[in-house]
């Protein structure tokens, strides 16, 4: 315990919390449970505390029917249960660290409030992109309750029989949730994203599954372009002009291009900031001032695996940081913050996409050596009705350590990413994943769960049992190797790579001479649909003395990665 | 590598596998992928290999419509894909370890087959309980495809308008799946279990949730009794007489009272057996004979946490053991078997029950000191429609290490048990669970996932922040303490403990004198519905200088543990 910690015996007389949502409210509640004697004041600039900001899109869609369901607590309920002094409409405009006071602006003017311990939980603010005409009345965002109210009112006012068109700018987590909500409300939605694929934190190879799902629900995609201008149209709506010249008429425009830490107050008070303007804190959430703590979207964290630093706007870490800050300011044993995995999930119509740990892109940027493994496995026993494919991509260090995983599918994605997030936190390896003992009965999983399968495949790749090739290497493969397609005749006839030799895996042992002749000294690039049959085939070839590699993730990953495949025989 | 291992360069010429389901077939398939040159012969005594034994109940119910869906492979498909020589109807009757041959009985007589490496995967056999009249034609079991065929035919033959009554003897995993299937087929089911609660591996306090669900679907429960006799009834059916004298008429009787290792062949061959007649193997699945390996339901494993040894009939470990045995017999690096967690799951009508690690009963038997923590938390954000309570009970060592967890609920149980099984395998503590970073969006979880909550509560219990009392201590509590019920007036009026003082948690700070007076020097035993509000109340009392404890799991756990509660005010 550092000398400036306040032990239980020297409990701070007044704790002031700036910001009354996730992290701030967790801290206030924990502080009260630990200390009945402290005065705890929560200052919230908006009209609402402890609201469910992650739930806003689901009220817009109508799935959460009652708006009140989003307001988890009120100042009154918090006073009754936890003796908290919660003041909404109270904006902190300055911190006097010397005097240990904050300046508070309210509707009635300005006031000073003394603190013994100060907790900053100011959150993030929406990035305002360089788009002309953002003051058009059709333009909305979706971060706060007033945002939601305004957007919901705009949608409700649309005539049922008139045009109901929306443009959503930004295909991140909230942007996709906004798209889903607007589709549910019967709007025709166009989605604009500057990156080349939807959900930029997802690796490019998984995004096409989401793109297909969006298109299947009538959503128009505009990828790799930005919105330039929102202008009034003749009919009273708006027209959004994109960087490629496309003009999209819309009655509703939703802009969500990301957030930045709301760290102005901290910066103006001279507190140390870190990467990307986030408030720098130690493992106990303490800032550079020993009497000031900070939590949530505004603070700098260290990312696991890459060691990158920066703000991470996620509710889970914010809540735990709040709890930790309360423990620390009351001089208790804390669980120091572990590096953040960045585990996140989003529902996109019928699909779920989720990530944990480092993406392939992040590993590449950080220069971390890794092997990528892909599986497409049924989310529960294939013979049990309703089995759905989970597409999982995971990266492993050469020593077998899991570095990150991402998944997309209709069912069971959340479970596998949660297991992998736990494994990642524990420093587990491919061997460990192979040996995980997960719950199996036919409605829930498989005797070899997709997570076990991921471990098996990674073991085979890492120990050289199964050399693999990747969809990204296709051009080189086509130029220098024999492609051996071991799928069934029916699958082959539906479309296959130009020049591929077709030998079903069940016939391979009897047709090795044919393969050898066709290879003519070249290495053999094997593939099937998902990588399972081609694994057997690759093993047959390797043991027959051929240089063979298996396509990681098979045809499914190949077509997701390369929409422009050089095909023969495709019937559609 | 031990000197008797067969390295890649001395690959065994013939591998003989005894038993063609889970573990045996995994071993054969893996061996072939690793070694194209070996002769691999699979000897299966039944008519089916690689059938989905875990799926049998779901074909009985009709949920898996096609019986063929259960037959995952045939000898023909295995020959084509993996060049395996699979022989059904081949029963191995003896092993000559000296000569390295097995004796095989077929329809055509007896034969000898030489092996270089022998893998035993004989599985388990149903325990035949001491019940008179098991040869009655109404009596069935549910372990094999022929069992299923016979039982399904019996059910199909029942007249739609006649009596359709079933007695299921044994309420373990398969027994409960049989009950569910028979309910789905419209039978009136009576369930008989020798233990005092259904699903004996589950701790007694969670079983009542399953019992209520069964009763709600019309299933009659007979707990703590055994079946004594099956006799013919006058109408051509059967009558099952129980140890308490109850007579249950039935057209169908299903007996599933457990299994024992099918280790007779191994024993007769002089292989070393371990606990409960299971075949003893090393971490590489090798038996006491260096040329013989064994896997699956017939082998002895060590259980994690307690260190108990014995057979564990689970498909997941069997499959992984098969893979490991193949690696070992081919001289490859293996992932030695970790102690088995015993992770298991079962669907019981609308509920799911799952377990991992040591139960409270197992910890008590092993004399392992532990703290039990209970939560009843929504499976996803409570404000999102469809939130269902997950009931989780977990045990922690005094140093915080997770020792075991069990859960029951309608949704999200499999995910939490899989995360906890992963945490358990990693040796995680309460601190680690508190800090796990799981995927959160409203349809999937909560910013504080039930697993995080479990960690928070365990931290509070273990570090003394929240002393707790347990439902099992009720009699002592009623005799020596003041019970303080901090629920709402409405909840209190629906039923409360005799003599309880009622002070809603929101009024407690203003009524401390009243509590102090009522306590009159006695410790205060606080409770609410689930333990959350009473946690706040307990903290208030402790800081006011009272001796207070919080009821672990609250009223929900109390009523599940004590159906005979001394209540006042109950309106029903």
| Helices A22-34, A75-82: inter-axial angle, 10-degree rounding | 20
* pLDDT higher than threshold 90 for residue A566: no
Q: Could A381 and B423 be called an inter-chain contact, meaning their C-beta atoms sit closer than 8 Å?
A: no
If DSSP codes are grouped into helix, strand and coil, which group holds residue A183?
Answer: helix
Q: Which of A2-16, A104-118, B469-483 has the lowest mean pLDDT?
A: A2-16
Of A410, A402, A389, the C-alpha closest to A458 is A402
Residues B444 and B517 occupy one common structural domain: no
Q: Could B434 and A335 be called an inter-chain contact, meaning their C-beta atoms sit closer than 8 Å?
A: yes
DSSP structural state of residue B422: H
Residues B264 and B253 occupy one common structural domain: no
Residues A72 and A146 occupy one common structural domain: no
Residues A252 and A182 occupy one common structural domain: yes
Pick from B316, B346, B422: which is nearest to A422 by CB? B422
Q: How many CB pairs under 8 A join A and B?
A: 261
Boundary-marking domain end, from A462, A483, A506: A462
Residues B85 and B151 occupy one common structural domain: no
Boundary-marking domain end, from B232, B257, B282: B257
Report chain B residues whose CB lies below 8 A from the CB of A418: 415, 418-419, 438-439, 445, 449
Structural domain contains residue B491: yes
- Mean pLDDT of all residues in B167-187: 97
* pLDDT higher than threshold 50 for residue B4: no
* pLDDT higher than threshold 50 for residue B3: no
Residue B116: domain span: 8-125+260-329
Whole-number pLDDT of residue A459: 98
Structural domain contains residue B25: yes
Structural domain contains residue B3: no
Q: Are B172 and B83 in contact (CB under 8 A)?
A: no
Residues B109 and B30 occupy one common structural domain: yes
Residues A424 and A475 occupy one common structural domain: no
Q: Could B447 and A318 be called an inter-chain contact, meaning their C-beta atoms sit closer than 8 Å?
A: yes
Structure tokens at A527: 């593939």
DSSP structural state of residue B237: S
CA separation for the pair A91, A107 (Å, rounded): 10
Question: Which one of the listed residues B34, B54, B113, B381 is annotated catalytic?
Answer: B54
CA separation for the pair A151, A140 (Å, rounded): 6
Residues A311 and A296 occupy one common structural domain: yes
Pick from B58, B82, B343: which is nearest to A442 by CB? B58
* pLDDT higher than threshold 80 for residue B43: yes
**pTM of this structure:** 0.97
Query: In a 10 Å sphere around its CB, with 0-12 CB exposed, 13-18 middle and 19+ buried, how is residue B285 labelled?
Result: buried
Residues B25 and B108 occupy one common structural domain: yes
Q: Are A402 and A373 in contact (CB under 8 A)?
A: no
Q: Could B439 and A69 be called an inter-chain contact, meaning their C-beta atoms sit closer than 8 Å?
A: no
Q: Report the percent of chain B where pLDDT is more than 70.
A: 98
Report chain B residues whose CB lies below 8 A from the CB of A80: 506
Distance from CA of A350 to the nearest CA of B (A): 12
Of A259, A246, A243, A240, the C-alpha closest to A172 is A259
pLDDT per position as a tens digit, B112-124: 999 999 999 999 9
Q: Could B425 and A436 be called an inter-chain contact, meaning their C-beta atoms sit closer than 8 Å?
A: yes
Most A CBs within 10 A among B29, B316, B419, hence the mutation to make, goes to B316
Which residues lie closer than 8 Å to A191 by C-beta, 6 or more apart? A167, A168, A171, A175, A179, A198, A214, A219, A220, A221, A222
* pLDDT higher than threshold 90 for residue A531: yes
Residues A59 and A113 occupy one common structural domain: yes
The DSSP element (H or E) to which A78 belongs, if any, is: helix A75-82
* pLDDT higher than threshold 70 for residue B538: yes
Residue of B nearest to A304 (CA): B437
Q: Could A69 and B320 be called an inter-chain contact, meaning their C-beta atoms sit closer than 8 Å?
A: no
* pLDDT higher than threshold 70 for residue B292: yes
Residue of B nearest to A428 (CA): B426
CA B311 to chain centre: 14
For residue B54, indicate whether it is catalytic.
Answer: yes
Whole-number pLDDT of residue A537: 98
Structural domain contains residue A448: yes
Report chain A residues whose CB lies below 8 A from the CB of B447: 22, 54, 315-316, 318-319
Structural domains of chain B, count: 4
Structural domain contains residue A336: no
Q: Could B421 and A437 be called an inter-chain contact, meaning their C-beta atoms sit closer than 8 Å?
A: yes
Whole-number pLDDT of residue A570: 61
pLDDT per position as a tens digit, A269-294: 999 999 899 999 999 999 999 999 99
With b for 16 or more beta-carbon neighbours within 10 A and e for fewer, the B123-159 pattern comes to: bbebeebebebbebebbbbbbbbebbebbbebbeebe
* pLDDT higher than threshold 70 for residue B312: yes
**Long-range contacts of B100-108, Cβ-Cβ distance < 8 Å, separation of 24 or more:** B100/B291, B102/B16, B102/B18, B102/B43, B104/B43
pLDDT per position as a tens digit, A296-329: 999 999 999 999 999 999 999 999 999 999 999 9
Residues of A annotated as catalytic are 54
Whole-number pLDDT of residue B306: 97
If DSSP codes are grouped into helix, strand and coil, which group holds residue B400?
Answer: coil
Structural domain contains residue A337: no
DSSP structural state of residue B51: B
Structural domain contains residue A283: yes
* pLDDT higher than threshold 80 for residue A6: no
Pick from A82, A423, A448: which is nearest to B536 by CB? A82
Report chain A residues whose CB lies below 8 A from the CB of B400: none
pLDDT per position as a tens digit, A239-261: 999 999 999 999 999 999 999 99
CA separation for the pair B567, B483 (Å, rounded): 12
Pick from A333, A344, A436: which is nearest to B463 by CB? A333
Stronger pLDDT, A571 or A110, i.e. the higher one: A110
Residues A297 and A318 occupy one common structural domain: yes
Which of the four pLDDT bands, split at 50, 70 and 90, describes residue B570? Answer: low
* pLDDT higher than threshold 70 for residue A419: yes
Residues A222 and A298 occupy one common structural domain: no
CATH code (residue A456) = 3.50.50.60
Most A CBs within 10 A among B174, B447, B511, B538, hence the mutation to make, goes to B447
Residue of A nearest to B56 (CA): A442
Boundary-marking domain end, from B462, B486, B502: B462
Report helix, strand and coil shares of chain A as percent, to nearest 5: 30, 25, 40
Structural domain contains residue A400: yes
Pick from A83, A354, A434: which is nearest to B439 by CB? A354
Distance from CA of A110 to the nearest CA of B (A): 32
Whole-number pLDDT of residue B336: 85
Which of the four pLDDT bands, split at 50, 70 and 90, describes residue A513? Answer: very high
Residue identified by tokens 């759905």 is: A388
- Please give, one letter per residue, the 3-state secondary structure of A284-334: CCECCCCCEEECHHHEEEEECCCCCEEECCCHHHHHHHHHHHHHHHCCCCC
Which of the four pLDDT bands, split at 50, 70 and 90, describes residue B563? Answer: confident
């Amino acid at each position: 315990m550092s000398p400036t910690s306040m032990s239980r015996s020297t409990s701070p007389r007044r704790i002031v919390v700036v910001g009354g949502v996730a992290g701030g409210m967790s801290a206030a509640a924990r502080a009260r449970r630990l200390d009945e004697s402290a005065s705890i004041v929560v200052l919230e600039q908006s009209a609402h505390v402890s609201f469910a900001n992650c739930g806003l899109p689901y009220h817009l869609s109508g799935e959460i029917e009652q708006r009140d369901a989003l307001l988890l607590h009120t100042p009154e309920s918090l006073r009754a249960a936890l003796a908290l002094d919660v003041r909404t409409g109270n904006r902190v405009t300055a911190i006097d660290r010397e005097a240990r006071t904050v300046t508070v602006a309210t509707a009635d003017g300005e006031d000073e409030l003394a603190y013994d311990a100060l907790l900053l939980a100011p959150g993030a603010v929406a990035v305002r992109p360089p788009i002309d005409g953002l003051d058009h009345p059709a333009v909305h965002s979706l971060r706060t309750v007033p945002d939601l109210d305004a957007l919901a009112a705009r949608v409700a006012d649309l005539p049922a029989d008139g045009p109901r068109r929306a443009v959503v700018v930004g295909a991140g987590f909230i942007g996709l949730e906004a798209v889903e909500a607007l589709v549910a409300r019967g709007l025709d939605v166009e989605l604009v994203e500057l990156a080349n694929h939807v959900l930029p934190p997802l690796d490019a190879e998984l995004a096409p599954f989401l793109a297909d799902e969006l298109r299947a629900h009538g959503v128009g995609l505009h990828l790799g372009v930005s919105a330039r201008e929102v202008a009034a149209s003749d009919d009273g709506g708006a027209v959004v002009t994109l960087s490629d010249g496309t003009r999209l008429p819309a009655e509703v425009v939703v802009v969500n291009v990301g957030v930045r830490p709301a760290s102005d107050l901290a910066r103006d008070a001279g507190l140390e900031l870190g990467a990307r303007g986030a408030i720098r804190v130690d493992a106990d959430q303490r800032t550079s001032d020993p009497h000031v703590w900070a939590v949530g979207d505004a603070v700098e964290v260290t990312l696991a695996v890459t060691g990158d630093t920066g703000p991470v706007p996620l509710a889970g870490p914010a809540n735990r940081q709040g709890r930790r800050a309360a423990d620390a300011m009351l001089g208790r044993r804390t669980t120091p913050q572990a590096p953040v995995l960045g585990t996140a999930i989003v529902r996109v119509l019928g699909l779920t996409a989720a990530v944990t740990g480092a993406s392939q892109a992040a590993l590449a940027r950080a220069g971390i050596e890794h092997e990528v493994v892909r599986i497409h496995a049924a989310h529960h026993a294939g013979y049990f009705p309703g089995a759905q494919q989970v597409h999982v991509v995971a990266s492993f260090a050469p020593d077998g350590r899991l570095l990150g995983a991402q998944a997309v599918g209709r069912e069971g994605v959340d479970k596998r990413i949660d297991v992998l997030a736990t494994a990642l936190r524990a420093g587990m390896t491919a061997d460990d994943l192979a040996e995980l003992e997960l719950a199996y009965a036919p409605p829930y999983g498989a005797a070899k769960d997709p997570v076990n399968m991921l471990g098996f495949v990674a073991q085979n790749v890492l120990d050289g049992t199964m050399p693999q090739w990747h969809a990204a290497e296709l051009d080189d493969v086509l130029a220098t190797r024999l492609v051996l397609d071991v799928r069934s005749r029916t699958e082959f006839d539906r479309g296959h790579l130009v020049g591929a030799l077709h030998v079903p895996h069940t016939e391979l042992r009897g047709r090795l001479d044919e393969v050898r002749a066709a290879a003519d000294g070249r290495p053999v690039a094997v593939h099937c649909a998902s990588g399972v049959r081609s694994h057997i085939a690759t093993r047959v070839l390797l043991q027959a003395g051929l240089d063979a590699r298996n396509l990681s993730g098979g045809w499914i990953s190949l077509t997701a990665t390369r929409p422009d495949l050089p095909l023969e025989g495709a019937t559609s």
